[in-house]
Chains A and B, each alone.
Chain A
Amino acid sequence: MLARATPTTIAVRVRGLSDRAIAWLFITPTIALLLAINIFPLIWAVYLSFTNFRANRPNAEVEGVGLRNYQRVLNDPDIWIAMQTTAHFVFWTILLQTVIGFALAYLIDRKFRGHAFWTTVILIPMMLSPAVVGNFWRFLYQPQIGLFNYIVSFFTGIPPSSFEMLGSVILAPWAIIIVDTWMWTPYVMLICLAGLRSIPDYIYEAAEVDRASTWRQFWSITVPMALPFIMLAVLFRGIENFKMFDMVMLLTGGGPGSTTEVASITLKREAFESWLTGRSSAFAIILFVAVFGLANIYVKALNKVKQR
C-alpha cells in the first residue's frame, strides 16, 4: 500500500530491480553468447594465424611464424585467382539480379489482378536451402538426361549432350550464376518493390501536370527514389555472395579444375583438406577484414544517397 502511494519510479525501485539492472540482465546473455561463440574463436583464429599450427597434428609443437602466413596468402597466385573468381561471380550475380529484380518489381507495381499471389510464388526460391536445391540442380544440368539441357536444345536446336554446364570450363561459372540468379532475384525484387511503393503518388501527379513523359518520370523519379533500396539489396547480396559456399560446393565443388573455386572453397580446402590451420586462419581474417571494410564503405555511400 505504501508503495502504491509513492511516485512510480520509486515504487519500481522498491518492488523490483532497477531499470539499469534489468537492461543489463536482458542484454548480457546475448553478448556473452556472441563473445563465446563468435569473438573468442575469432581471437583464437587471430592467434593461430601467426603460428604454424595444423589441426590434424594437435601434438606437434606450435611455433610463432610472425607475419609469414599473411605474406604467403597475399603472394599466393591461387588465392588471387580465387578472389578474381569470387569478384566475377559477385559482379554478374548482382548485375543480373538487380536488373531482373528491379524490372519484376516495376511490373508487379503495375498492380495487375492477382499480383499479390504471383509475388508470393516468385518469392519461394529464396526461402529454400541453397545446398539442398543446388544439389538438385546438378541433376537438371546433366548433359544427356537433364531438363535444363533438354529445354535449351528444344529452343535452340543444339544437341542436349553436346554441352556440359557443370563440366565445361567456360559454362561452369555461368551454371552457378544461373542458379544463384534463379534463387536470389526474388530477394532483390522484394526490396525494390518496397522502394517503388515508398514513392508517394503526388510526385507522379506533379510530373503528370508538368507533362513529363513516362520515360522521363521513370529516370527522374522512379530510379533515383528507389536507389537507396536498390543499394541496400546490392549490399546484402554482395555480402552474401562474397561468402558463397554451399551452392558452389554442391554444384561444382570448385571445378572443373579450379574454374569455379570461389574464396570460401579455397579456404575450406586449405583449412579442412590440407589442414594448414595457421595459414587458413590468416586467409580467413583477410577475408573478414575485406567484407567488413567493403561493407562499411558501402554503408557510408548508402547513407549519403539516403540523405539526398
Chain B
Amino acid sequence: MSSVNTAAHSVVEPTPTAKRIAGTIVILYALVTMIPLAWIFLTSIKSPPDSISYPPKVVFTPTLEGFCNLFTTRTRQTPDYIQALPPPTGTCDEITRGRNMVIAGPSNYWPRFGNSLLIAFGSTFLAVSLGTLAAYGFSRFRVPLADDLLFFILSTRMMPPIAVAIPIYLMYRQFGLSDTALGMILLYTAVNVSLAVWLLKGFIDEIPREYEEAAMIDGYTRLQAFWKVVLPQATTGIAATAIFCLIFAWNEYAFAVLLTSGSAQTAPPFIPTIIGEGGQDWPAVAAGTTIFLVPILVFTIILRKQLLRGITFGAVRK
C-alpha cells in the first residue's frame, strides 16, 4: 500500500522548477501586500515632518512623538513660558516641549481602547455562551424546524448593518441604550451569535455521541454529561469561535459610528478622528492603528489552522 502511494505521489508532485517559480511569485505577492502594514508601523515612529516628506522616507530617526501625540492633548505655549517650567518629567514631556507645546492632559485614546476591550470581550463571552448552548441543542436533539431556525439565525447576518442600525437606533433611544457599552454588547452579541451557533454546531457534531452516552450510563445526567464531557472536548472549537467573535467586535465600525458618539465609543470610529494642528496627525494615527492591530496579528497567527472554518461559517472544513 505504501509503495503504491509513494510511486503515485511522484506523478502528481510538482517539479522543483515549478515549485521555485510558484514560491517566488507567492513570496513577492506576500511582500507587496505587507507594504501598507509596514508603512503603518514606520509612520508611527516618524516625526510629523518626516511622515509627510517627499520622497517618502524609509531611513529616518525614529521618535516616540507619534505615540506621545496619540496619548496626550497639547496646547501651544510661548518659548518663554516653556523656559520657565520645571524640568520635563518624561520623554513625552520633553518631545512636546521641543515643539513649543505643553501636555494639557491625556487624550481619549485609552478610554476608547478600553471601551473596545470591554465591548469585544463582553459580547464575545455572551455570544459564545449562548452559541454553545444553542449549538449543542441543534447538534444533539431533534428540534422541530431545525433547518429553518438555523437558516433564520444565519440570515440575520446578511442584513446590511446600516439597514439594521435605523430601527436599532430608534429602539436604543427609547430604552436609553444609545451610546452605552451595554447596548453595544447586546448588539454585537446578536450579530456574533449566528456565527457562534454555526461554527460550534460543526465542532460539537464532530464529538462522538458515544462519549456522553457512556457518561450517562455511568450515572451522569444529560446536563452533567454536557458540562463534564462535551464542553472539555469542545474547548478548541470554543476558543476558535471566541477569537472570531472577538475579532468581529474589535473591528466593527458601522454600528459603532452610528450608535456611539461619546462615552461608549470604540476605537475604530475614534482613530480616524485623531487630528493635530493643521490636519490629520498621521504619526499619531499610525501609532493608534499599530496598537489597535497588534492583538489581531497575534490572534491571526494563533488561529491560522481554523481560519477557513471561521470565515465560511463552518461550511468548509479541512
A interface, CB within 8 angstroms of B: 3-4, 8, 11-12, 15-17, 19-20, 22-27, 29-31, 33-34, 36-42, 44-45, 48, 55, 104, 107-108, 110-115, 118-133, 135-137, 139-140, 144-147, 150, 160, 182, 186-187, 190-191, 193-194, 197, 201-202, 204-205, 208, 229, 232, 236, 239, 242-243, 245-246, 249-250, 263-264, 267-268, 271-272, 277, 280-281, 284-285, 287-288, 291-292, 295
Contacts and interface: CB of A to CB of B under 8 A. Distances in A.
29 contacts: A11-B216, A23-B140, A26-B136, A27-B134, A29-B134, A30-B130, A37-B187, A37-B189, A42-B167, A55-B173, A104-B29, A107-B26, A110-B23, A121-B33, A129-B253, A129-B292, A129-B293, A130-B253, A131-B253, A132-B268, A136-B36, A136-B40, A191-B311, A194-B308, A232-B316, A236-B312, A239-B158, A281-B167, A288-B160
B232 interface: no
Interface in B207-238: 213, 216-217, 219, 221-224, 226
Main secondary structure of the interface of B (DSSP, over half): helix
Interface residues of B, number: 109
B166 A271 contact: yes
B181 interface: no
Given A44-B171, A136-B40, A194-B318, 4 more contacts: A31-B134, A107-B22, A139-B280, A190-B311
B9 A201 contact: yes
A45 B223 contact: no
B275 interface: no
A55 B167 CA distance: 10
B286 A136 contact: yes
B109 interface: no
Contact of B219 (A4, A111, A119, A250): A4
Contact of B39 (A140, A190, A205): A140
Contacts of B252: 129
A45 B280 contact: no
Contacts of B84: none
B107 interface: no
A191 B308 contact: yes
A268 B258 contact: yes
B299 interface: yes
A308 B268 CA distance: 44
Contacts of B37: 124-125
A115 B26 contact: yes
Interface stretch (B72-80, B95-103, B148-156): B148-156
A268 B257 CA distance: 11
A292 B156 CA distance: 10
Given A27-B149, A139-B285, A271-B166, A204 B130 contact: no
B240 interface: no
Contacts of A112: 19-20, 22-23, 26
A150 B149 CA distance: 52
Contacts of A125: 33, 36-37
B159 A27 contact: no
Interface in B111-151: 130-131, 133-134, 136-138, 140-143, 149
A15 B257 CA distance: 50
A43 B165 CA distance: 13
Main secondary structure of the interface of A (DSSP, over half): helix
A1 to B, nearest CB: 10
B293 A128 contact: yes
Interface string B168-190: 11110100000000000011011
Contacts of A38: 156, 159, 164, 190
B25 A245 contact: no
Contact of A246 (B130, B254, B289): B254
A139 B43 contact: yes
Contact of A16 (B23, B130, B221, B312): B221
A41 B8 contact: no
B312 A45 contact: no
A259 to B, nearest CB: 19
A124 B37 CA distance: 10
A273 to B, nearest CB: 11
Contacts of A122: 26, 29-30, 33
Contact of A129 (B18, B29, B268, B304): B268
Contact of B54 (A15, A131, A145): A145
Contacts of A135: 271-272, 285, 289
Nearest to A154: B55
Given A132-B268, A190-B308, A124 B297 contact: yes
Given A44-B171, A150-B55, A110 B19 contact: yes
B269 A12 contact: no
